[in-house]
Chain A
């Protein structure tokens, strides 16, 4: 732990997920693709539940998707998010067939609906940590 003022939960990458986090640093959303059967999966994990292979390649997602559901958070459960309230957390169906979750920025809450097109963007959270964010398309 560093001694800085970042007071939000930090990810602890594992050997299974390190390429995902490294990809975000380069503004790429990388997904695991099973080397055994070709299935794409998310979140990163050791094994394909279809063929049990542990071999993966990493593919870059197109970064486009549609809103599956969302919540608008009005309460800061840790102090680090207080200045961002209220914020939208959107669950999104990516074109690749898996889902992701991220803060949706700049969307009018009344415009939120299932199917709303969004694109993935990136935001530097702190030294060594880039997080995905979402923006409404168009």
Chain B
């Protein structure tokens, strides 16, 4: 049995994205979830599996607010920003086991009004090791913890800040075209180069946003997906990967390889396709460098060639591999990458409007989180 026969994304939904919604995380997630469930043509009471993002909201909150009569499966996939795509894998496993039919994957946060992301990490268990041994020295925020990976890549391969800037600039252009994005002003490479240094080599415009908003998807068993409202988008390959020394980048044998490097070959083998077959990719972009490193770890270019690859214009709309057509975490909103999944599904349904990639049939979406966990899904329109 191929993975394609297991399940599909049948519904996607979002809220508007803003700096300060004044709404609770749960209210944001319920709105996004209801949009996703209705997009699928389902009723909330049809949901029998829930994989919430580990944190403020639990499956019981959805049972209560949606009046779900018989929730049969709940789990979390605590991989930070790799959680959403890893959650799809968990949903498919539960569906394959015959436990449930329609799994809701909601996420939402008030990153702007509810406490800054850079500060919250100290309380998270996956940051316990750096919390004890590195934060007291002044290595506190993700920008500081990840910057040495980027610096080493630059020293080994000649990667430049301008090349990272190309990722920020092209992503901004997509956000402006897309419409539902927090950032609406054009950005040039000069703007990127003039933005203040946060933790060298990462500048302000290499960093993602703090956002309020929600996004959600419904993953359904293949036999239930066919007769729903929208064309199903089948998941044909999926994998998660954890890097060596997953809790401390400092101790990682090769600082320029992420967990995704282990996951990607498995997902491609499962889907029976190669990187050259991918028409559009939504790449988790908490920082520009993390995008560049993932492009290499997936195999869109060789290790060390990410800089020239992005500089060539390959990742722009109309390029060889358009990425982050919605504006990503850098310019649309930081909802931990569920917005990447939503956008990929719309691309493969042909619903992406002004950012639609022509004839997009096969797409890829990644997650990246904590100190380097990775997840990747390959999808295909039905």
A contacts, CB < 8 Å to B: 8-14, 17, 42-43, 68-75, 77-78, 81, 84, 86-87, 89, 91, 98-103, 113-114, 125, 129, 131-132
Q: Which single member of A69, A86, A113 contacts B149 (CB below 8 Å)? A: A69
Residue B313 lies at the interface, judged by CB distance under 8 Å to chain A: no
Closest B residue to A74 by CB, please name it: B197
Q: Which residues of A contact B151 (CB under 8 A)?
A: 69-71
Q: Is the CB of B148 within 8 A of A89?
A: yes
- A98 CB, min distance to chain B CBs, angstroms: 7
A113 touches B199 (CB 8 A): no
Tell me the bound Cα distance from A114 to B218 in angstroms: 47
B-side interface residues, number (CB < 8 Å): 36
Cα distance, A75 to B155, chains bound together (Å): 23
Measured between C-beta atoms, what is the minimum distance from B193 to chain A in Å?
Answer: 15
* Distance to closest chain B CB from A10 (angstroms): 6
How many angstroms from the CA of A81 to the CA of B118 in the assembled complex? 15
Interface residues of B in 103-156 (CB under 8 A from A): 118-119, 122, 129, 131-141, 143-144, 147-149, 151-152, 155-156
Complex Cα distance, B141 from A114, in Å, reads 23
Are B200 and A72 in touch, CB under 8 angstroms?
yes
From A75, A87, A102, residue with most partner B Cβ within 10 Å: A75
Closest to A21 in B: B132
* Pair B198/A74 contact, Cβ less than 8 Å: yes
Kindly list chain A residues whose C-beta atoms are within 8 Å of the C-beta of B118. Answer: 77
Contacts of B135 in A (CB 8 A): 9
Q: Are B136 and A131 in contact (CB under 8 A)?
A: yes
Complex CA–CA separation, A113 to B155 (angstroms) = 8
Contact of A101 with B132 in the complex, beta carbons under 8 Å: no
A-contacting residues, B12-47, CB 8 Å: none
Candidates B140, B148, B199; contact of A69 at CB < 8 Å: B148
Q: Is the CB of A69 within 8 A of B152?
A: yes
Q: Are A69 and B137 in contact (CB under 8 A)?
A: no
Residue of A17, A68, A71, A72 with most chain B CB atoms under a 10 A cut-off: A71
The answer to whether the Cβ of B248 comes within 8 Å of any Cβ in the partner chain is yes
In the docked arrangement, what's the CA distance between A102 and B250, Å? 10
Separation of A100 and B139 alpha carbons in the complex (Å): 12
CB pair A91–B148 under 8 Å, yes or no, is yes
Q: Distance in Å from the Cβ of A67 to the closest Cβ of chain B?
A: 10
Assess the A101–B255 pair: CB atoms within 8 A.
no
Whether B302 is near chain A, meaning CB under 8 Å from some CB there, is: no
20 A-B pairs in the complex with CB atoms less than 8 angstroms apart: A9-B122, A9-B135, A11-B133, A12-B132, A17-B133, A42-B251, A43-B129, A69-B255, A71-B147, A71-B151, A71-B200, A72-B197, A75-B141, A77-B144, A78-B140, A81-B138, A87-B138, A100-B250, A101-B134, A114-B152
- Which residues of chain B have C-beta atoms less than 8 A from A102's C-beta? 137
Inter-chain contacts of B198 with A (CB < 8 A): 73-75
Chain B residues, CB < 8 A from A87: 138
Tell me the complex Cα distance, A77–B138, Å. Answer: 8
The reply to whether B144 and A71 contact each other, CB–CB distance below 8 Å, is yes
A11 contacts which chain B residues (CB < 8 A)? 132-133, 136
In Å, the complex CA distance between A13 and B128 comes to 11
Asked whether A10 and B136 contact (CB < 8 A) given A69-B151, A75-B198, A101-B250, the answer is yes
Q: Please state if B251 and A114 are interface contacts (CB–CB under 8 Å).
A: no
A75: nearest chain-B partner, CB-CB? B198
B132, B155, B202 interface centre (most CB from chain A within 10 Å): B132
Contacts of B199 in A (CB 8 A): 71-75
Contact among A68, A74, A98, A101 for B139, CB-based, below 8 A: A101
> B305 → chain A, closest Cβ, in Å?
19
